[in-house]
């Protein structure tokens, strides 16, 4: 994914902050705001399991479309979903053209749980990795594909652990998982001028929305991207806050109720080009859980698009905060 200049406004921040309940806030000894949990985890999300699913993806090497690692990871995701008793698993194969003319063989992977329910929620993540380390300072390693432990594998790892939970405890609504391909093959120069070079897999899926029709779209979506960084904090993403306000407030409110208010920050942290934009424009208002206002870089984590995006920089506590929050949101949904 790519990031744009921070476009947050004070008014938007204020409105979003007021939208959530703040009754469980208290002051810590250092003067910072802490959160007193008022909600229990409704699932059995295991950060260790999510971490293992990430490591197993990384073991395939870079997952650039067309590579051996890409093919192996596709089979791994599909087999994992089947082992977690998904009601349906669909692999949408296609060929798309990247901005440099390269033809990319892609596979969007869909799994449905509780498919008899008309009310559905969509969870999504991209599973491909960046074909270059364009943020590396070293010229000799800049053109080598990255492992993408955080940027790609972390969202997938959390979704697979959620799938394991869904097999153990059936939700009241339908829950669909979408693993989109070719998100990270976009141009790194002039992000604002080349939005459509990113998210090629979700663009293809939105044009061919297997298995949905305009009459049975999910009521909202949650995108997970770069959710495993060290001490990751997740601010509101600007496009999500403006165009998927309801699910954004829902997720951040639940995180706060669970005691993760120090992780899910009720302020707009910036805007990014990511799959949530494609999904929202396709009719599924989707919020993006992504670290885009890192305390060190003020944008993405320092490992972004570098060879430091490896297992050494994956944080189980970040995975736990995201996974438990999303599971609670799902399990609290009621049918129509």
Taking the C-alpha atoms of residue 156 and residue 158, their distance in angstroms, rounded to an integer, is 5
Helices marked H in the chain: 10-19, 47-58, 68-83, 155-168, 200-207, 238-243, 245-257, 275-281, 316-332
Question: Which range, of 23-32, 175-184, 320-329, averages the lowest pLDDT?
Answer: 23-32
Interacting residues of 213 by C-beta distance below 8 A, sequence separation 6+: none
pLDDT digits (tens, 9 = 90+) for 167-194: 999 999 999 999 999 999 999 875 556 6
pLDDT digits (tens, 9 = 90+) for 67-100: 999 999 999 999 999 999 999 999 999 999 999 9
- Stretch 254-276: mean pLDDT: 97
Taking the C-alpha atoms of residue 254 and residue 328, their distance in angstroms, rounded to an integer, is 7
Percent of the chain with pLDDT over 90: 86
Do residues 252 and 17 make contact, with C-beta atoms less than 8 angstroms apart?
A: no
Interacting residues of 169 by C-beta distance below 8 A, sequence separation 6+: 42, 43, 44, 331
More confident residue, 17 or 120: 120
């Amino acid at each position: 994914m790519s990031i744009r200049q921070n476009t947050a406004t004070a008014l938007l921040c204020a409105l979003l902050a007021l939208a959530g309940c703040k009754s469980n806030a208290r002051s810590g000894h250092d003067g910072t705001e802490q959160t007193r949990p008022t909600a229990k985890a409704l699932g059995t999300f295991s950060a260790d399991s999510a971490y293992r699913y990430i490591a197993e993806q990384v073991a395939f090497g870079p997952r650039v479309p067309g590579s051996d690692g890409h093919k192996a990871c596709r089979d791994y995701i599909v087999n994992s979903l089947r082992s977690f008793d998904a009601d349906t698993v669909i692999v949408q194969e296609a060929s798309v053209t990247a901005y440099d003319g390269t033809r990319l063989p892609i596979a969007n992977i869909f799994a449905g749980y509780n498919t008899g329910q008309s009310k559905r929620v969509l969870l999504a993540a991209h599973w491909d990795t960046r074909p270059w380390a364009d943020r590396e300072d070293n010229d000799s390693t800049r053109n080598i594909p990255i492992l993408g432990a955080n940027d790609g594998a972390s969202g997938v790892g959390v979704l697979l652990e959620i799938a394991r939970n869904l097999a153990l405890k059936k939700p009241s609504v339908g829950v669909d998982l979408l693993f989109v391909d070719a998100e990270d093959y976009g141009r790194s120069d002039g992000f604002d001028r080349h939005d459509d070079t990113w998210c090629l897999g979700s663009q293809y899926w939105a044009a061919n929305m297997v298995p949905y029709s305009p009459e049975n779209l999910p009521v909202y979506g949650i995108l997970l991207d770069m959710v495993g960084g060290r001490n990751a904090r997740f601010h509101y993403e600007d496009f999500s806050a403006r165009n998927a306000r309801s699910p954004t407030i829902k997720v951040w409110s639940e995180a706060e109720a669970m005691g993760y208010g120090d992780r899910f920050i009720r302020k707009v942290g910036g805007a990014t080009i990511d799959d949530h934009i494609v999904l929202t424009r396709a009719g599924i208002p989707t919020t993006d859980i992504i670290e885009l206002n890192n305390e060190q870089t003020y944008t993405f984590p320092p490992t972004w698009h570098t060879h430091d995006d490896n297992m050494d920089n994956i944080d189980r506590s970040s995975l736990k905060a995201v996974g438990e929050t999303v599971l609670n949101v799902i399990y609290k949904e009621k049918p129509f």
